[in-house]
Amino acid sequence: MLISSLTALWLSGSANAGKVTIPVDIGLGPAAHLITGPVQEDQTLHTGLAMSVQAIIDKKTIKKNAKRIPRQYRKAAKQMDEVRFSPSIFIPDTLFISPKVENTGIMGISWAPVGVGVPLIKRGVRVSAGAELRLTYAYLYSDTLSNTHFLRPGLAPRLVAEIPITKHFLVSTGWNSQLYIPQAVGGPITEMGELEDSIWHIGQAFFKFHYRFPYTVQM
């Protein structure tokens, strides 16, 4: 509820009209995927793109606009380091773009509409741990495996390091382990497969370049 309140504060408006400037961060970079099970046995790595679009409400901005936050959430909000949110749940965070180099290719898309995180290191390099709910669709086409339409919800714990280069440019690197309801390679999306025959875990390593710029909203 607290995060929803803060998000609504910057997206919708309030009785105390005015302008608020917040940083918006756009990130894009390469990703490597290890797909546990038959797919990894056939080909170790599959490539893709990792991306992100986030508005960042920092502690200074929260404190400055504390009176606009509902009273019941105000104390908790002041204790938060920052809040990050995507302007739309329809913005994907991963594109699977892995042409058939050996036997198998994968094309697909993944969303992480909801997530939580805890900063482990805040000064200089920012290191955070967290987890996110995920939805993934991927089409696997292969000379050695059965072609598969993979569609599953999942849960992904993650660890991310964010390194500032300048005020506007940053880089980040990290890992997430995407855990899914098992779907057999070649099997239908309506059935649960056995682990040894299924796609159930996708490990993703990524490196993103970020551009951060101020964005002013009218409230």
pLDDT over threshold 80, residue 131: yes
Classify residue 63: in a domain, yes or no: no
Phi, psi for residue 30 in degrees, rounded to 5: -75, 155
Classify residue 17: in a domain, yes or no: no
Task: Tell me the CATH number at 134.
Answer: 2.40.160.20
User: Which residue range(s) make up the domain with 161?
Assistant: 25-51+87-211
Helix 2-11 crosses helix 71-78 at what angle (to 10 degrees)? 100
Phi, psi for residue 69 in degrees, rounded to 5: -85, 135
Q: Which amino acid is at 186?
A: G
Q: What does the block give as tokens for 188?
A: 């239908």
Tens-place pLDDT, residues 156-215:
999 999 999 999 999 999 999 999 999 999 999 999 999 999 999 999 999 999 999 988
Phi, psi for residue 9 in degrees, rounded to 5: -55, -45
Classify residue 192: in a domain, yes or no: yes
